Amino acid sequence: MSYDADLNFVYAHTHKTVFGANVVKDLGTYVGEMGLKRAVVITDSFLADKTDLLERIKKALGPLFAGAFTGVVPDPTAPSVDEGAAYAKQQGADLLISLGGGSAIDTAKGVAVILKEGGKVLDHEGYHVIERPQTPHIAIPTTAGTGSEATMVTVIKDPERKQKTFIGSYHLHPNLAVLDPTLTTGLPPKLTAATGMDAMSHAVECLISSLGQPLSDAYGIEAIRLITTYLPRCLEKPDDLLARGQMLIAANMAGSAFSNAMCSLNHAMAHTLGARHGVHHGTANGILLPHTMRYFMDVSAAEFVRVAQAMGINTAGMSDEEAGNKAADKMEQFVKEIGLTDRLSSYNVTEDALPGLADVAMTDGTIIYSPKPVFEPQDIMGIMRKVL
Ligand code: NAD
């Protein structure tokens, strides 16, 4: 994006990030440095029962471990967050440690708010409603996608409205993010691909956002380069620690970038498909992204040239629109190459569902950051129809 002399922005980021294979073993030291004594881990039952990840955290924490809430659900619902908060309160938690994908990290952010502010999670809905520091939180991602460990937002599903809603505040950044590639080697191929496309969508969307700014651009472009290079390597060789680590870094950069520049239409549609049809968030983003790029080509071609270049396309001699269309084509090809479905019909989304989906997506909080206003539900239906 080109900027004018009146450019102004805020860039906020998680206070501290540690990266490295096996850094998780030093967790007790990090907690000690924070002066905290009772850590409650927030995770899901699969990670707790079917992997050794929770045991590794417990071992690293030693006597600082004060219990584990294992009731995180995918696309966390408000009642599940309230339940996690009741458990953490009962255990006398002075620190939350989220272990898992975006669902665990977002649950912990909601729990942190309830422990400090009281009430239920939906009482605190909205941006910048939370105005003071919250319960300390260490985020340990086990997927490389959402970048939630680097963002100021939690995404919570309200089952009554059948819609995802948000709490966003600078006080929701975790105090520490621990990026350890040994925690992501067990992620199955479909989830590796899907979560990687969530990060890709963050990176592309922050480049075209109406709130775009130079710092988020830099993170976004590098994230696209890393994902293009290393996501296929994670799929070829799941225990490749270099590739897994580079994907964690890419997801973190893209998360940080969109937390400041915001996502837009692609995420508005993905949130709605997740809330209404259970389409995994990253999968929805991947399916839709090439088509959303084409929809914005009339206003964002110059930004898509940068996407093309970050994906390794030689754009010399091309017009912005030619290069932008090459980027969208390459994105569509990439989604196929990493084995992700490119059809919503795999999730029983039919033509009949499109008007309702479009209406809800129009009310999603992210849509207003689109590079051009999206006024017509028919436009959204048109994009979704292409991938039925
Ligand atoms: P997820 O957290 O829902 O996890 C998906 C599945 O992967 C779960 O069944 C989990 O048990 C499994 N899993 C996680 N790590 C694993 C591992 N290492 N090995 C084996 N299985 C593993 O998926 P996600 O894509 O990471 O998160 C999606 C959620 O994050 C959505 O609710 C979305 O709205 C939210 N989100 C939040 C932000 C934010 O900034 N707060 C950004 C993007 C997305």
Which atom of ligand 1 lies closest to the CA of 46?
11
**Ligand 1 pocket test, candidate residues 113, 281, 289, most atoms within 8 A of CB:** 281
Q: Is the CB of 173 under 6 A from ligand 1?
A: no
Contact criterion met (CB below 8 Å) for 324 and 299: no
Q: How far is the CA of 4 from the centre of ligand 1 (A)?
A: 38
Q: Is the CB of 14 under 6 A from ligand 1?
A: no
Q: Is the CB of 75 under 6 A from ligand 1?
A: yes
In the chain the first and final C-alpha atoms are separated, in Å, by 32
The residue whose CA is least distant from atom 28 of ligand 1 is 102
Q: Is the CB of 175 under 6 A from ligand 1?
A: no
Q: What gap in Å lies between CA 179 and CA 185, rounded to an integer?
A: 13
Q: Is the CB of 142 under 6 A from ligand 1?
A: yes
Q: Is the CB of 135 under 6 A from ligand 1?
A: no
Q: Is the CB of 256 under 6 A from ligand 1?
A: no
Q: How far is the CA of 322 from the centre of ligand 1 (A)?
A: 35
Q: How far is the CA of 315 from the centre of ligand 1 (A)?
A: 35
Output the tens digit of pLDDT for each of the chain's 388 residues. Answer: 789 999 999 999 988 999 999 999 999 999 999 999 999 999 999 999 999 999 999 999 999 999 999 999 999 999 999 999 999 999 999 999 999 999 999 999 999 999 999 999 999 999 999 999 999 999 999 999 999 999 999 999 999 998 889 999 999 999 999 999 999 999 999 999 999 999 999 999 999 999 999 999 999 999 999 999 999 999 999 999 999 999 999 999 999 999 999 999 999 999 999 999 999 999 999 999 999 999 999 999 999 999 999 999 999 999 999 999 999 999 999 999 999 988 998 899 999 999 999 999 999 999 999 999 999 999 999 999 999 9
Q: How far is the CA of 103 from the centre of ligand 1 (A)?
A: 5
What's the whole-model pTM score? 0.97
Q: How far is the CA of 126 from the centre of ligand 1 (A)?
A: 22
